[in-house]
Amino acid sequence: MPPAHPFDFDAVNSDGDKLKEECGIFGAVGVTDAANFVALGLHALQHRGQEAGGIVTYDPDEGFNSARRFGYVRDNFTSQTLMKTLPGALSIGHVRYSTAGSKGAAIRDVQPFFGEFSMGGAAIAHNGNITNADALRRELIERGSIFQSSSDSECIIHLMARSLQRNIPERMEDALRRVEGAFSVVAMTRTKLIGVRDPLGVRPLVLGKIGDGWCLASETCALDIIGAEYVREIEPGEMVVITAEDGVQSHRPFRPQPSKFCIFEHVYFSRPDSIIGGQSVYETRRQIGVELARENPVEADLVCPVPDSGTPAAIGFAHESGIPFGMGIIRNQYMGRTFIEPTEHIRNMGVRLKLNVNRALIKGKRVILVDDSVVRGTTSRKIKEMILDAGAAEVHFRIASPPTAWPCFYGVDTPQREKLLAATMSEEEMCQHLGVDSLKFISLDGLYRAVGEAEGRDKSCPQYCDACFSGEYPVEPADMIKKGFQMKAAE
């Protein structure tokens, strides 16, 4: 498969030093040319997946139609010619970064997936990861199912096909009861838009109103782009079935469980202009910076964010510490596409292609760099070198999340545990490895306080999924355990 762009930074600097943002899903019903709304919604969710995207529509005269493409939404779903092939008032879409299945996968791995059942067709798009997908896939193949992709999400379609329930929503309920892990799903039939969240609510899903129609989205920022009114979050374990005629009908197909929403959505994954649980993501990240400054003060002359994800936390850190805030690092906003061919010389430039130091601001100063996380540490080392090359007197890292010491199995592309810096080094060893004057992370309790839990983390029953920091997995990763993954020993 040729690259989606002549030159892409992630292909050049593919050192896995940032956690990749799972996937984004969007659906609309009861609106003219629903695919146009879905394309706009997916554009707003592009940060959640840049590898590929797809849209499925239904029109009474044309039936089901679909388009799946590699690359960005802006490059693939703006053609009037293409959009005319996606008619109808009902549509769902998906943007993808592969977390299960092969990397650089074929077009058959791009969602939404479609299936034809005895009672009509249905399409589904899934954000998350099925932790028992290997076992389900093996069972389904042994019983005659023929898979078309390497994606774990396809298991849902096959489970629906084998269900004996009367209609597609009931078949989906039946299928999802067999699924373990994390899932937010949007699906469609000829008349219905369906949204489901797993019983723990690990991955996000929100409901919006657009004119006489309705929409579902991974984040509220996708509602804003189409002028939709935010109605509410889909609750953990809830299924909504929406039609243009009857509106929203809610079902509770799963046994109630304590919510375990992914806390890293607050730290990094969600866009800062989104709302989570009634809270501004931007304000939460600013408060993370406040807590970080309280826990880990240091004498310095400048607080500088690592753009763009570190900016709100750096603003909070600067305000709380009284140290001036400055944009000491400038991001090249046009890095996603360029005519420059990725020669070996260009590849060796690495992070400098994406970020540049504001030398006039940095020179001679003791600099605090605020970033959202440290994964492998390779990018952090390069940024430190750039800051020192610009004449900084000292470099101090302050990280707006606890050390990432455990892989995620719920829809986030995480390196193997032995490749996570915090899994093999203490904080002091990481500081020496990065070659900085100091390195400090926010505590897990501090992070919980920043997201609104005044008493910090409830150790007996954590309020969020924080497995990437704590090693405490709310759903046992069955497939990975069979492959030899060692869970954290009980304390």
Q: Which one is predicted more confidently, 288 or 22?
A: 288
Tell me: do 352 and 248 sit in the same domain.
no
Asked if the structure places residue 267 within a domain, the reply is no
pLDDT of residue 98: 61
pLDDT of residue 318: 98
Q: How many CB atoms lie within 10 A of CB 229?
A: 11
Retrieve residue 131's tokens: 């932790």
Tell me: do 369 and 240 sit in the same domain.
no
Helix (H) / strand (E) containing 361: helix 359-362
* CA 72/CA 50 separation, integer angstroms: 6
Number of helical H runs and strand E runs in the chain = 19, 23
DSSP 334: T
Retrieve residue 96's tokens: 């993808």
Retrieve residue 220's tokens: 């509220």
Q: Where does a domain end: 199, 233, 260?
A: 260
Taking the CA of residue 182 as centre, how many other CA atoms within 13 Å lie in the half-sphere pointing to its CB? 27
Tell me: do 229 and 286 sit in the same domain.
no
Residue 316 to residues 309, 313, 336, 398: CA-CA distances in angstroms?
13, 5, 29, 12
Tokens 């590898």 map to which residue?
A: 51
* CA 415/CA 405 separation, integer angstroms: 10
Asked if the structure places residue 466 within a domain, the reply is no
Chain length of the chain:
491
Tell me: do 370 and 295 sit in the same domain.
yes
Asked if the structure places residue 487 within a domain, the reply is no
Tell me: do 146 and 58 sit in the same domain.
yes
pLDDT of residue 1: 33
Tell me: do 243 and 286 sit in the same domain.
no
Tell me: do 183 and 97 sit in the same domain.
yes
Identify the active-site residue in 23, 408, 465, 468: 23
pLDDT of residue 413: 78
Can you give the CATH number for the domain in which 206 is found? 3.60.20.10
- Total number of domains constituting the chain: 2
Domain around 234:
11-260
pLDDT of residue 337: 41
DSSP 228: P
pLDDT of residue 335: 57
Asked if the structure places residue 485 within a domain, the reply is no
Average of pLDDT values for 3-9? 32
Tell me: do 349 and 297 sit in the same domain.
yes
* pLDDT range class, residue 317, cuts 50, 70, 90: very high
Asked if the structure places residue 468 within a domain, the reply is no
Asked if the structure places residue 473 within a domain, the reply is no
For residue 179, which of 116, 135, 132, 238 has the smallest C-alpha distance?
Answer: 132
* CA 285/CA 268 separation, integer angstroms: 9
Alpha helices in 47-199 (DSSP H): 73-76, 80-83, 133-142, 154-162, 168-176
Helix (H) / strand (E) containing 386: helix 378-389
CB 195 within 8 A of CB 207: yes
Tell me: do 239 and 169 sit in the same domain.
yes
Tell me: do 27 and 149 sit in the same domain.
yes
Asked if the structure places residue 464 within a domain, the reply is no
Average of pLDDT values for 441-465? 95
pLDDT of residue 411: 86
207-229 tens-digit pLDDT: 999 999 999 999 999 999 999 99
Tell me: do 138 and 185 sit in the same domain.
yes
User: Position 402: which residue type?
Assistant: P
Q: Where does a domain end: 198, 233, 260?
A: 260
Average of pLDDT values for 457-472? 95
Tell me: do 255 and 147 sit in the same domain.
yes
Can you give the CATH number for the domain in which 443 is found? 3.40.50.2020
Peptide bond into 372 cis (omega under 30): no
Q: Where does a domain end: 213, 233, 260?
A: 260
**Cα distance between the two ends of the chain:** 47
Please say whether the dihedral angle defined by the alpha carbons of residues 168, 94, 419 and 460, taken in this order, is positive or negative. negative
Asked if the structure places residue 484 within a domain, the reply is no
155 is a catalytic site residue: no
Retrieve residue 310's tokens: 């570190």
Q: What are phi and psi of 128, to 5 degrees?
A: 140, -155
Q: Are strands 366-371 and 302-305 parallel, antiparallel or unpaired?
A: parallel
- Tell me the sheet residues that pair with 217: 26, 206
